[in-house]
Amino acid sequence: MALYSEKVMDHFRNPRNVGVIEDADGVGEAGNPVCGDIMKIYLKIDNDIITDVKFETFGCGSAIASSSMATELIKGKPINEAAALTNKAVTEALDGLPAHKLHCSVLAEEAIKLALKDYFDKNGIEYDKNEFPDEAHCAHCGEGCN
């Protein structure tokens, strides 16, 4: 039995939306090098629609696949839909992740939320502070990321 689903391996081998958006409207980063994974999400937003999204990831196979899938799931979507994206949705879209890799999908959700928060902050848009915390928390080590 393979370690990962075919979907995970496809997104790992051929990651979608890798790169940087230089003039991004929102940027979010979750994870830290000590834990061994960092995800950075760049958003381009026009009229409340995510017109472009790119990611950079330092991490394992499932971290790269989770980033790739998460960007696919929010590309072209309204920001309220992106904000509602859960790690569960990312995991399901990947046909599942091994239990000890679920935190990778959490990082993807957190990185997107932080990128949206950055966009709200820059544009003076009101948002629910509980839904968009100041800092991501690594799901696996439970420590704040910086």
Partner 1 sequence: MIYADNAATTKMSRTAIEAMLPYMDKIYGNPSSLYSFGQDAKEALEDARARIASVLGCEPREIIFTSGGSEADNQAIFSAARQGEKKGKKHIISTAFEHHAVLHTLEKLKKQGFEITLLDVHSNGIVTPEQVADAIREDTCLVTIMFANNEIGTIQPIAEIGKICREKQVLFHTDAVQAAGHLHVNVKEQNIDMLSLSAHKFHGPKGIGVLYAKKGIILDNVINGGAQERGKRAGTENIPAIMGMAAALEEAVANLDANSTKLIKLRERLIEGLDKIPYGELNGDRTNRLPGNVNFCFEGIEGESLLLLLDDKGICASSGSACTSGSLDPSHVLLAIGRPHEVAHGSLRLSINEETTEEDITYMIEAVTDVVTYLRNMSPFWRDLVNGKRTHVFAE
Contact 42, 20 (CB under 8 A): yes
> How far apart are CB 48 and partner 1 at their closest, in Å?
26
The 10 Å Cβ neighbour count of residue 2 is: 7
Neighbours of 48 (CB within 10 A): 12
**Closer residue to partner 1 in complex, CB, 41/79:** 41
> Six-digit token pair at 83?
């904000």
Residue placing its CB nearer to partner 1 in the complex, 50 or 59: 59
Q: How far is CA 141 from CA 49, 61, 68, 72, 138, in A?
A: 33, 19, 23, 27, 6
Query: Is residue 104 flagged as an active site residue?
Result: yes
Please give the single-letter amino acid code of residue 109: E
The least CB distance from residue 47 to partner 1, in Å, is 28
Task: List contacts with partner 1 (CB under 8 A).
Answer: 9, 12-13, 15, 18-20, 29, 33-40, 56-61, 63-64, 100-101, 140-141
Closest CB 90 distance from partner 1, rounded Å:
17
Q: How far apart are CA 141 and CA 54, in angstroms?
A: 26
Catalytic position from the list 104, 138, 141, 145: 104
- Nearer of residues 34 and 84 to partner 1, judged by Cβ: 34
Catalytically annotated residues: 35, 104
